[in-house]
Amino acid sequence: MKSSKTSAFSSPKQRFLSNDKAVTAHQVMVDSAACEIGLDVALAEFAYDLADTVTDPQAAIGAGFQLRGAVKFLKRFKELAELPKPAPAIQDTGELRPPPDKRRP
C-alpha cells in the first residue's frame, strides 16, 4: 500500500524527494570528489567512444545529440536532490503601481 506522501500521479523526482534518507545520501554522494571525478571521466569516456562512430556528417550530428543527452542526464542527476528555490517575497505597499524605482522608463 502506498504511503500518504506519494500518489500514483507523482513524478519520479517527487517520489525521490519524499524519501529523506535517499535525498541525504544522494547529496553526500554527489558532493564527494570521487563522484565528481567519476562522472567527469565517464562523460569523457563516452565522448571518446562516440568519436569512433563518426564516419560522416550525419553520424557527427547523431553523436552530437548523444553527447548533449549525456550532459543533460548528468546535470539532472547532480541536481536531483535540489529543491526549487522559493520565489522572492512580494512586499505589499498598498499601492497598485510599482514603487518609482521599479517602474519602467
Per-residue pLDDT of 70-105, as tens digits, reads 999 999 999 998 877 777 877 776 766 666 777 776
**Is residue 3 assigned to a domain?**
no
**Is residue 105 assigned to a domain?**
no
Q: Grid coordinates in use for 50?
A: 562516440
Q: Taking residues 57-73, report their average pLDDT.
A: 96
pLDDT band at 2 (very low <50, low <70, confident <90, very high): very low
Looking at residue 95, the DSSP 8-state letter turns out to be: -
Q: What is the pLDDT of residue 57?
A: 95
Here the contacts of 83-87 (C-beta below 8 Å, separation 24 or greater) are 83/17
**Parent domain of 70:** 36-80
Number of Cβ within 10 Å of residue 17's Cβ equals: 19
Report how many domains make up the chain: 1
**Is residue 4 assigned to a domain?**
no
Q: What is the pLDDT of residue 98?
A: 66
**Is residue 101 assigned to a domain?**
no
Q: What percent of the chain has pLDDT over 70?
A: 85
**Is residue 24 assigned to a domain?**
no
**Is residue 49 assigned to a domain?**
yes
**Is residue 69 assigned to a domain?**
yes
Q: What is the pLDDT of residue 28?
A: 95
Instruction: Kindly give the residue spans of alpha helices, DSSP state H, lying in 1-105.
Output: 12-17, 20-31, 33-51, 57-78
**pTM across the whole model:** 0.67
Q: What is the pLDDT of residue 1?
A: 41
How far apart CA 47 and CA 63 sit, in angstroms, is 8
**Is residue 43 assigned to a domain?**
yes
